[in-house]
């Protein structure tokens, strides 16, 4: 069957995450209903990253098979029926067998942290407000320690769908996005549930001197979940890119 690919952006604040859940407003449900309106058939989406409630996306990718024809300018038509906190950046036919989840070669996430002493109303639900001192060198060292192949058992909920806890992080680095906002860029073939958010929570503890770099390194060898730091809140997290 012919396959299409969507590149998607959303403000996650008012969504109960990506995945369909009865009675909840989800990105998947809004998109599938928009697609049904413009295609005249029921569509099942496959997604690259199943983001949780509150998590944003600037470069999410989804794919679907369809039986009829794709109309002209499908992205424009879709955006005309989608709510304002969700937009399709690109919609185009894809190679047969393209699968947004399985064909992905890497996912890139960004986690934004507001480090000013006062909160910023315009960053509400857009960044974690972290009012404690952080040492940028320690943060950078923590990020460097995360790069590579590790057992991330400590960084995902104990009750989980995962069987294998080993992952390879290809890139992990903090940058100053602007005065008062630090952002982590992290890239891997795949991530486990909450993995980026627990990594961020733990790195901030290292940056604040509340946990040593050695402790973080030890955690990356398969320590139990409750040994790692707090799960940073969803509203600082953005899925920015999926590579194929």
Catalytic residue set: 52
Please provide residue 17's backbone torsions phi and psi, each rounded to the nearest 5 degrees: 90, -175
The smaller minimum CB distance to its own copies, of residues 122 and 164, is found at: 122
DSSP letter for each residue of 135-158: -HHHHHHHHHHHSEEEE-GGGS-S
Name the site residues for its own copies (rule: CB under 8 A): 9-11, 56, 58, 75, 79, 84-89, 118-122, 124, 126
Provide the sign of the torsion angle of the four alpha carbons 61, 239, 232, 230, taken in this order. positive
The smaller minimum CB distance to its own copies, of residues 90 and 166, is found at: 90
Could you tell me the smallest distance in angstroms from the CB atom of residue 81 to its own copies? Answer: 13
CA dihedral 20, 26, 29, 34 (to 10 degrees): -160
β-strands 237-243, 106-114 pairing:
antiparallel
The smaller minimum CB distance to its own copies, of residues 29 and 188, is found at: 29
CA pair distance 173, 211, nearest whole angstrom: 19
Instruction: Read off the DSSP letter of residue 27.
Output: H
Could you tell me the smallest distance in angstroms from the CB atom of residue 78 to its own copies? Answer: 10
| 64-to-46, 49, 181, 186, 242 alpha-carbon distances in Å | 6, 15, 37, 27, 16
Task: Specify whether the CB–CB gap between 50 and 18 falls below 8 A.
Answer: yes
Could you tell me the smallest distance in angstroms from the CB atom of residue 41 to its own copies? Answer: 24
The smaller minimum CB distance to its own copies, of residues 56 and 211, is found at: 56
């Amino acid at each position: 069957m012919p396959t299409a690919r969507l590149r998607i952006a959303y403000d996650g604040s008012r969504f109960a995450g990506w995945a369909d859940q009865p009675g909840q407003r989800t990105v998947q449900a809004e998109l599938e209903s928009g697609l049904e309106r413009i295609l005249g058939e029921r569509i099942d989406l496959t997604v690259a990253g199943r983001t949780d409630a509150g998590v944003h996306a600037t470069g999410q990718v989804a794919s679907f098979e369809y039986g009829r024809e794709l109309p002209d300018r499908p992205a424009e038509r879709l955006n005309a029926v989608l709510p304002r906190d969700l937009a399709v950046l690109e919609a185009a036919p894809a190679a047969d067998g393209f699968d947004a989840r399985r064909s992905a070669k890497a996912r890139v996430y960004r986690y934004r942290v507001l480090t000013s002493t006062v909160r910023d109303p315009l960053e509400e639900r857009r960044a974690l407000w972290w009012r404690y001192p952080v040492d940028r060198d320690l943060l950078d060292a923590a990020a460097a320690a995360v790069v590579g192949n590790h057992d991330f058992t400590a960084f995902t909920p104990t009750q989980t769908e995962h069987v294998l806890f080993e992952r390879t992080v290809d890139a992990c680095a903090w940058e100053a996005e602007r005065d008062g906002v630090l952002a982590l860029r992290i890239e891997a073939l795949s991530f486990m549930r909450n993995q980026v958010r627990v990594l961020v929570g733990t790195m901030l503890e290292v940056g604040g001197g509340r946990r040593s770099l050695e402790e973080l390194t030890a955690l990356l060898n398969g320590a139990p979940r409750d040994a790692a730091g707090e799960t940073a809140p969803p509203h600082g997290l953005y899925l920015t890119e999926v590579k194929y």
